[in-house]
Amino acid sequence: MGKVETWPGRGSFVLAAIGSAIGLGNVWRFPFIAYKYGGGAFILVYLVSLFIIGIPILILEFALGYHFKSSAPGALRRISSRWEWLGWFALLAGFGVVSYYVVVMGWAANYFVYSANLAWGENTESFFFNKVLNLSDSIFSIGSIRLNILLGLIVCWVWILLSIWKGPLTVGRVVYVTVTVPWLILIVFVIRGVTLPGAMEGLKYYLTPNFAQLRNPELWHAAFSQIFFTLTIGFGVMIAYAAFLPPKSDIVNNALLIALADALTAFIAGIAVFATLGYHAYMVGKPVSEVAKGGPSLAFVVYPMIINSLPGARLCGLLFFAMLLTLAVDSAFSLVEAISAGVTERFGWRRWKVNVGIMIVGILVGLIYTTSAGLYWLDVVDHFVTHLGLFSVALLQCIAAGYFYSLRTLRVSINEYSDIKLGKSWEYIIKYLVPPVSIFLLVCSLRKDIISPYGGYPRLATFLGGWLPIFLFVIISIVLARIAQKRDAGGFTP
Ligand code: TRP
């Protein structure tokens, strides 16, 4: 058993959980997903998803960690030894995300340096694709490793490790800065964005709801996945963080606060991005829906455009990319924390060794994204890990807690010290709403992904970057759960 650690003071748990939730998911992923799925059409579904599944599942994860005082594998094992694998699977899915997440941080680190002389110039799109990524024309033309990105990747990993060197105690302090400063900068961007010519067209595209789209399962699937991604649900992170909570903590209040702060940040980042897209559309004389590619490159094309138009552009650029990095670092280290909490708890290894191990594997896996085809691989892995991996974890967690444990027990345990009491409807949502809805969405999109490979990539690519890793994660989690349980059996007699 690892030693039980607790948060220094209440504020630090909330801040650390907000820190984990708010990250590139809000400022980088949310705008491109919203753009890809048609702006206003997406926002509506996104908001509905936040309330009907995001917040209830976030509460469930907090409840699991808090009630069992355990990281994800440990907490799920307490439900039944047959569920422990799911905890490991969650951590592995999280690792899948972090493997490319830190690469995006590496891009941001490069842009931080470029800000010093606004190296991206006027054509920010061509700069990103040609100069920064040296993007090849197909997913199998890997080309060579881009050294600048590799360097960024390594620097970011080292930074992540240093931030958590001493455990949750240091985390508590780091996040005071990483959570508050970024908001100020985003607000400056919004003000500049909406005062650009053409901005209103962009905002119209972002905010006009399209009710017909509510019937599109693909949109719901993308919205659910984005909610999981952005709230850090389905990675075992929130379970681990809640396990460090002192007794008598107010879970419901915290969950609401975290979810709303997160959604608000994404929404504000969206305003900045879409206003700028409107401006760009106005300049090139095309409709907003056609001016950009709705993929992982969007942020790195659009934010530099806003920066170019600001007074004191260089300073703004430096501040913005510093902000992006500080937002991202606490999300990334929350996952490293969650993995090392799981491994130390179940295998008794030393925390620092686990952390260094994660970093090394992270850098090695990350190499593929630093090549000229890196953006394509990132796109594929992101799609599968979020749409299939996270999604399944969130779904199965609800089934495990709802059908193999007592949601009532969890609810009573949280309600004891919460100002806002959870009603029985929470149990219904977890037990009867989430599973059928998610299974339906999952089946719809699996069918689609099987019929025609995601994004028009060759089948072999979606197999290597998508199906295969998910399959391996399942096998590895089952093996890890087995080994941990053997160790329990041999280690001590109850
Ligand atoms: N929630 C984070 C964000 O919005 C992203 C995130 C979720 C994440 N889970 C993660 C990052 C696991 C790294 C590892 O940016």
- For 144-181, how does the pLDDT look when each residue is reduced to its tens digit (9 = 90+)? 999 999 999 999 999 999 888 876 556 666 667 766 77
- Between the CA of 283 and the centroid of ligand 1 the distance, in Å, is 34
> Does ligand 1 lie within 6 Å of residue 99's CB atom?
no
Residue 235 DSSP one-character state:
S
CA 150/CA 39 separation, integer angstroms: 33
Residue 129 DSSP one-character state:
I
What is the percentage of the chain residues whose pLDDT exceeds 90? 55
Query: Which residue has its alpha carbon closest to ligand 1 atom 9?
Result: 232
> Does ligand 1 lie within 6 Å of residue 234's CB atom?
no
- Between the CA of 56 and the centroid of ligand 1 the distance, in Å, is 18
> Does ligand 1 lie within 6 Å of residue 19's CB atom?
no
Query: Which residue has its alpha carbon closest to ligand 1 atom 8?
Result: 331
- Between the CA of 376 and the centroid of ligand 1 the distance, in Å, is 20
How much is the pTM?
0.91
CB 407 within 8 A of CB 431: yes
CA 26/CA 32 separation, integer angstroms: 10
Query: Which residue has its alpha carbon closest to ligand 1 atom 6?
Result: 232
| Fold held by 10-488 | Amino acid/polyamine transporter I (1.20.1740)
> Does ligand 1 lie within 6 Å of residue 23's CB atom?
yes
> Does ligand 1 lie within 6 Å of residue 135's CB atom?
no
The confidence score (pLDDT) of residue 432 equals 95
The confidence score (pLDDT) of residue 1 equals 41
- Between the CA of 23 and the centroid of ligand 1 the distance, in Å, is 7
Contacts of 252 (CB under 8 A, 6+ apart): 59, 414, 415, 418, 419, 420, 421, 422
- Between the CA of 229 and the centroid of ligand 1 the distance, in Å, is 6
> How distant, in Å, are the alpha carbons of 52, 355, 433, 443, 444 from that of 439?
16, 35, 10, 6, 9
Q: Probe ligand 1: pick from 331, 369, 473, max atoms within 8 Å of CB? A: 331
- Between the CA of 325 and the centroid of ligand 1 the distance, in Å, is 13
What is the percentage of the chain residues whose pLDDT exceeds 70? 95
- Between the CA of 237 and the centroid of ligand 1 the distance, in Å, is 9
Regions of the chain with pLDDT less than 50? 1-3, 492-494
Burial 79-112 (b: 16+ CB within 10 A, else e): beeebbbbbbbbbbbbbbbbbbbbbbbbbbbbbb
> Does ligand 1 lie within 6 Å of residue 230's CB atom?
yes
CB 217 within 8 A of CB 440: yes
CA 471/CA 475 separation, integer angstroms: 7
The string of pLDDT tens digits covering residues 134-144 is 999 999 988 89
> How distant, in Å, are the alpha carbons of 183, 239, 283, 409, 410 from that of 404?
41, 18, 58, 12, 12
> Does ligand 1 lie within 6 Å of residue 236's CB atom?
no
Q: Which of 405, 376, 388, 358 is nearest to 448 (CA)?
A: 388
The confidence score (pLDDT) of residue 2 equals 44
| Nearest atom, ligand 1, residue 231 CA | 1
- Between the CA of 101 and the centroid of ligand 1 the distance, in Å, is 8
Q: Which of 63, 40, 26 is nearest to 227 (CA)?
A: 26
φ and ψ at residue 312, rounded to 5 degrees: 65, 45
> Does ligand 1 lie within 6 Å of residue 220's CB atom?
no
Contacts of 3 (CB under 8 A, 6+ apart): none
The confidence score (pLDDT) of residue 266 equals 93
- Between the CA of 329 and the centroid of ligand 1 the distance, in Å, is 10
CB 178 within 8 A of CB 19: yes
